[in-house]
Structure 1
Amino acid sequence: KEVEVTKGRYHVLLESPNRRVRHDAFHAFFSTYDRYRNTWAAMLQAAVRRDIFYAKVRQYPSALDRALAVNNIPRAVFETLITTVNAHLGPLHRYARLRQQCLGLEALHPYDLSCPLVPSVQMTFSYEEAKRLVQEAMQPLGQEYNAVLAQAFAERWIDVYETMGKRSGAYSGGAYGVHPFILMNFHGTLRDVFTLAHELGHALHTYYTYQTQPFVYSDYAIFVAEVASTTSEALLMHHLLATTIDPAQRLFLLNYALEQIRTTFYNQVLFAEFEWQVHRHVEAGNALTHAVLGELFQTLFQQYYGEALVQDPVHRIGWARIPHFYYNFYVYQYATGFAAATALAQRILEEGEPAVARYITFLRSGSAKYPIELLRDAGVDMTQPVPLERTIRLFERLLDDLTTLLGRAADLAGTKSGTSP
């Protein structure tokens, strides 16, 4: 059967348990990008030169410094992110090797990174079940927070189901003086439950900010925009892992949690480092060609994923599909936001009320202070490697749990396949 590989369908095809489907989708997708490789390279070079031009005329040492100055982010935050993750790539290499083993592959390719390790497990939820799970998971945030959460459900802030003509995806938005609204397209998947928690995290951040700050400080910076939403996801994952007993479902959850860290933390640092290398290459007076970009991208990808990964030649154009490279050092904030949220969620679970009080103050603060100050007041210092190391240790613990459960499942399968006495 012939299927058109669109941007939206591509990610679904990469999650297929059929390797031929993944392989063909991957090659069709990137081969199309590769046909226009000179155009993509010229476009990215123009965008990078634009960044450098504005940095120079405004007297910044580099394009990176100009991008960080918008929200008064110390350069140490960016550099610490890159150096800390590069010093702790071992767990990601181990995960790549485990994927290779679990999937029974002679070599792991980029199109093998997204398919579930346990494709036979399906976890489905009604919307009422999703609501209950989210409300249970947010209990550590205290009575006040959960009262607002109940208000969001009772007052129908959420447009839940897909309807004809409705925009795809999920979003939270609002206007000052009005409670926020959430758009969803709920289909009952585990991802939909996490999306509900994620968008409610955004919504309550907006609600608290609008309730507390004057209009001029009522918005919040991109650097902290994903922190509240990801904190809610972290609390939901903790709740699900604490209450799920079925081994197959736990495997599914652990796989999901590891993929969240791989894609939202590790991959975004990889992209941020690529962006930094590209800007420095042009700042040194060099030209950006598709060959230079391809070499930089594949070298970094190999560095991050280790020897288990074998890259297809067409993957050299992988950089071209990332629109954020035109946004002047945007992607690193996904990784810092994830790390900050992980640290906040852990503090909330470990410390209780003092950490909750700091977190609610953070939600109320909008842009009354710069992002680094807001997070430091909440108990997370992003100028230090500690929050990043917390995320990496969490990845290691989840990987240990997954490895143990997979070993038990293999032992059980071996016992069942043996001859009865």
Structure 2
Amino acid sequence: MLTLLHTRSRQVIVAGLACALSLSACAPARDQTDQVAQADPASAKQQAPKTAQPPSPATAQPEYAITTSKTMPEQAPLDLGLSDADYWDDPFKTRLELENQLLDDEASVLVIGAPKLASFQQRETLPLVVLRVGQQDAMARLPFRRTALVVAVELTTNTTYANLAVIEDIVEPPVYDGPPLEGMSGEAWLIDLRKQLELPWARGDLLVSVIMRDTMTHRVRVGLRKGGYEDPAVAEYLAQADGEPKPAQIWPAPLAKDDGRGLPTYREHADSPAIPAQAGISLAVPRVVPRSQHMRAVVRGSFRLPSLARHRAPADADHTVTVPITLVLTGSDIAAPFVFPLVVPSYDAVKPDGGSEVTGYFSVDLQQLGNLDAIDQTYFIYAFSGEVVTGPAPMALVTR
């Protein structure tokens, strides 16, 4: 499928010419490295300094910034006015009318839209329309093709998929770094979610959003269905199958004795954020991390989340249920995401049929899970689990 890009600048009063850009195969998220449990230096007692000088970056304790969950709207702030069929047949049907109004209003928006229902037996693609309007200078310095991620959470299994929104087989022009540009500009993109995210082409319910650095759009809900005749016996069978236990191994695996003093740990730590009062995820992220040979990037979290019956633990396990929490990182300079699908235990009592709200903690070293130490840049960290999202939590890597 082709990704379409066309722009129109209000500064130059001519109609923009649409151009089609072919895509290369969707690149998978960066490989996870084998995790090796190590002792957590943050829990060790620090020796008192021999002088009154402030600690150096190599010995200073990290300053943690706390980020809590927020409810992301599921309804677009702007109705694209498209039917489900339009997304395949005429996805830019309303683009010029909407864009002209936004340009006249000098509005800066990033809007997405997708069909409410898609038949995986009758369709080959899952289109997402993106409309972006804003100050031409800001858009040139933050190009969509370089910085945008698309994220989809499949709710039946609580699985998160994330990748670059656009992957092109052309040499990209450099990011604009010239004098300020005047006026407004608009652009539109058509993204095939199935291809970009390598989605399983089967029944499911998706919550989809677009991320650009520290900005996340509203979320659109898409139902993937067989289409055509719906057999009630099949619906009953599938509902029962969804509730059958499918135990998942805790990942990354904790130490043999998880007492909260090693990494990773799923016990409360002195630096752990408080468990949210309502359904959500809280993150404690070091605001600045000095790059070094032995760099640590320890992220601590707590959660209060609904559990799924399929994620109940075996009777002989020391925990009762596991909860998928996926950390998605995008960089300020290299946007290609790191995706860390954590499988976190809870020790709370749960109902046999699922539906319980459970709590817990996690602490992981992101540098152990994937080598972040490429360049000096700021990572924006998001946490996804079902309908809950937390972020962005910024974490800057800096050369001392």
The normalised TM-score by structure 2 is: 0.27
Higher relative contact order (CA 8 A, sep 6+): 1
**Structure holding more helix per residue:** 1
- TM-score, reference length from structure 1: 0.26
Greater strand percent: which structure?
A: 2
